[in-house]
Amino acid sequence: MTEYDAVFLDIGGVVVSLPSVRQGYVDFLEEFAAERGIDPGPALETWRERLGEHFDSADGTEYVSAADGYHKAFQAVVDGDLGREAWKPGFETATKAAMEVEPNIVETIRALDEAGLYLGVISDIDTREAHRILDRFGIDDAFDGLTTSEAVGYKKPDQRMFEDALDTSRIDPAAGLMVGDRYDHDMQGGTEAGLDTVAYNGTAFERAEELERDGYRVVGDDAIDYAVEDHRALLEIVGAE
């Protein structure tokens, strides 16, 4: 069995439940629109369209700020200028209240930390938001390194993301695991960086389901090494049961 010294995790879809994050958006948009006499349905559609345009404006894997995208989206909803103080406090409160973690991830992170493994984040996220999410569930202190697209200036699968994480950790890539939910960003990007990969959720797990498996091992795909439906399986994979 391969011995691992480090586990790197994406945040959205791996640590935090993406449907719960999206529900927080909906909850606040409905309140925000109602307070201004705006129909919530079209407001949400406008918000999503403008936010999508913001992210689509990125040049290749270049990073664009999510916070700036949210601001543009709220301005589009009111069709005018709007200070960040008009939406940001309520938005953060609503998303925090709705946010849920993936099953068993907190316990698994704590167990990996206690077993002495290096824990890192490699995520296409704003740095402040990453800390806000991890702190929300009391696991910010469990991580030894945090690599975000905001800090690096690029999004996965750009190798600068993985290089930053590996440089910070000083871990041999062959002794590291990348846990992610996106096949192209996390599985292919992690493999190119020399990491073994674990598919959990999203397009990564969908791809793994098409393939033969030997226990957690995935057979027949160059980019996926393992697939898990329960984070506790990571403890077995790294030998930290």
Is 156 within 8 Å of 132 (Cβ atoms)? Answer: no
Domain check: are 88 and 195 in the same one? no
Residue 1, in any domain of the structure = no
The answer on 165 and 104 residing in a single domain is: yes
Residue 108 shares a structural domain with residue 184: yes
In this structure, is residue 216 part of a structural domain?
A: yes
Q: Which domain holds residue 131?
A: 6-17+100-237
One domain for residues 75 and 180 = no
If one counts every other C-beta atom within 10 angstroms of the C-beta of residue 60, the result is 7
Burial 4-38, CB ≥16 within 10 A → b, else e: bbbbbbbbbbbbbbbeebebbbebbbeebbeeeeb
Last residue of a domain, one of 98, 130, 155: 98
pTM: 0.95
Where residue 113 sits, what CATH number does that domain have?
3.40.50.1000
Residue 1 is predicted with a pLDDT of 52
Q: Are residues 201 and 135 in the same domain?
A: yes
The verdict on 208 and 135 lying in the same domain is yes
Give yes or no: residues 113 and 225 share one domain.
yes
- Token readout for 43 is 């407001």
pLDDT given for residue 109 in this prediction: 98
160 plus 229 within the same structural domain: yes
Please say whether the beta carbons of 43 and 29 come within 8 A.
yes
Q: Is residue 202 part of a domain?
A: yes
Residue 109 belongs to a domain: yes
| 119 and 232 part of one domain | yes
Handedness of CA 224, 15, 12, 127 (dihedral sign): negative
Task: List b or e across 164-203, with b for residues whose CB sees 16 or more CB atoms inside 10 angstroms.
Answer: bbbeebebebebbbbbbbbbebbbbbbbebebbbbbbbbb
- Return d(Cα 48, Cα 42) in angstroms, integer: 10
Same domain, 142 and 186: yes
Q: Are residues 121 and 228 in the same domain?
A: yes
Q: Which amino acid is at 140?
A: D
pLDDT at 93: 95
Asked whether residue 215 falls in the same domain as residue 199, the answer is yes
Q: Which of 98, 117, 143 is the C-terminal boundary of a domain?
A: 98
Number of domains in the chain: 2
Q: What is the pLDDT along the chain (241 residues), one digit of tens a residue?
A: 568 999 999 999 999 999 999 999 999 999 999 999 999 999 999 999 999 999 999 999 999 999 999 999 999 999 999 999 999 999 999 999 999 999 999 999 999 999 999 999 999 999 999 999 999 999 999 999 999 999 999 999 999 999 999 999 999 999 999 999 999 999 999 999 999 999 999 999 999 999 999 999 999 999 999 999 999 999 999 998 7
Strand partners, 120: 8, 145
pLDDT of amino acid 240: 87
Distance CA 209, CA 216 (A): 11
